[in-house]
């Protein structure tokens, strides 16, 4: 039995732009289904808002997103979640970091840390906080 964990991001009208940006960073397949596509328009102004969206990268990257309807409460919060991207090499993480930082605010520069050969944190233009690092073997010593 396999279990997959996929971050699901909630937006208020920015889901399509966020998904398109993540697709430009990670590649793969982009799927966007609008409220109009799903025949579930609650308000005419939200017809083109995302009802279901995802990016499925060929490298295993997955993220989902949608636009919370105006009829529901929404508060993204300051640090409601971090999206963690863990790679096998510094080069891989540096490449993703370079693409993801477009329009982003650096929270913590990408650099070696006590637990990883490369670790960094940024907040993208959509308010999502990303943590990128290189997986390192655990050494309890």
Give residue 37's pLDDT. 94
Provide the residue range defining the domain that includes 29.
8-67
Question: For 59-116, how does the pLDDT look when each residue is reduced to its tens digit (9 = 90+)?
Answer: 999 999 999 999 999 888 876 788 989 899 999 999 999 999 999 999 999 999 888 9
In a domain, 34, yes or no: yes
CB atoms within 10 A of CB 19: 24
Residues 23 and 59 in one domain: yes
Sheet strands (E) in the chain: 8-11, 29-34, 50-56, 62-67, 82-87, 105-111, 119-123, 129-134
**CB-based contact 54:65 (threshold 8 Å):** yes
pLDDT of residue 63: 96
Question: Which CATH number characterizes residue 90's domain?
Answer: 3.30.720.110
Number of domains in the chain: 2
Contact by Cβ (8 Å): 60, 27: no
pLDDT one-digit tens code per residue, 4-54:
779 999 999 999 999 999 999 999 999 999 999 999 999 999 999 999 999
Judge whether 3 lies within some domain: no
55 and 99 share one domain = no
């Amino acid at each position: 039995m396999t279990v997959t964990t996929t971050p699901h991001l909630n937006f208020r009208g920015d889901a399509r732009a966020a998904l398109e940006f993540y697709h430009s960073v990670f590649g793969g397949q982009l799927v966007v289904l609008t409220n109009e596509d799903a025949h579930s328009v609650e308000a005419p102004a939200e017809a083109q808002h995302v009802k279901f969206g995802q990016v499925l990268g060929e490298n295993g990257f997955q993220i989902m997103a949608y636009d919370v309807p105006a009829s529901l409460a929404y508060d993204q919060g300051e640090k409601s979640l971090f999206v963690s991207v863990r790679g096998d090499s510094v080069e891989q993480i540096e490449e993703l970091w370079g693409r993801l930082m477009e329009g982003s605010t650096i929270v913590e520069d990408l650099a070696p840390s006590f637990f990883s050969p490369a670790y960094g944190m940024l907040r993208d233009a959509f308010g999502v906080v990303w943590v990128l690092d290189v997986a390192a073997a655990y050494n309890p010593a």
